[in-house]
Amino acid sequence: MPVAIADLRNGLAANLQTIPSLRVTSTVPDQVNPPIAIISLDKINYQRAFARGLTEYLFKITVIVSRSDVRNAQNKLDQYVASDGTYSVLNALENDRTLGGVAADSTMMSLDAYGSVVIGETTYLSAEFSVQVFAL
C-alpha cells in the first residue's frame, strides 16, 4: 500500500522537532511565528522502480527567523544551515532517514536559497532546503 504524503511530512517534522526552540509545521501556516520550519511538497517522481515499486518525493523545508536584529538573525540562520551542531537541519533530518519507518530512505539534497523573505508586510531571513524521500 502506498505511503500517505502526510505521513512523510509528519516524519520529516518529527526529525526537525529535535532542534531546540524550532517550531515545526507540516502544513503551510496562515501566519509565521519564527523561528519556524515549514515543510511543503515540491515534486513527485513516480515509477522510480518497476511496477510502481518506488516513488521519489521532493520536499522543501523553509526555515524562517526573525530579522529584528540582522546580525543575530544571520547568526541564528547560519546555525540551521550548518552541516553539524545542535541546530543543524541536516543533522536533524538525517537522524532517522526512514522517517519513523514510513520511508525507504531520505536525504538532504541542498540548500537552495538563503536571504530575506517578505511575508505579509514583515521581512524575515530564511533558508530553503531540498529533501529527497523514497517510499513505496
pLDDT for the residue 37: 98
pLDDT for the residue 30: 87
User: Residue 41: how many CA atoms within 13 Å on its side-chain side?
Assistant: 13
Q: Which CATH number fits domain 5-135: 3.30.450, 1.25.40, 3.30.1490, 3.30.2000?
A: 3.30.2000
pLDDT for the residue 1: 67
Please report, in tens digits, the pLDDT of each residue of the chain (136 residues total). Answer: 679 999 999 999 999 999 999 999 999 898 899 999 999 999 999 876 666 678 999 999 999 999 989 999 999 999 999 999 999 999 999 999 999 999 999 999 999 999 999 998 999 999 999 999 999 8
d(CA 10, CA 12): 5
Question: Pick from 124, 54, 130: which is nearest to 93 by CA?
Answer: 130
Secondary element (H or E) of residue 83: none
pLDDT for the residue 2: 77
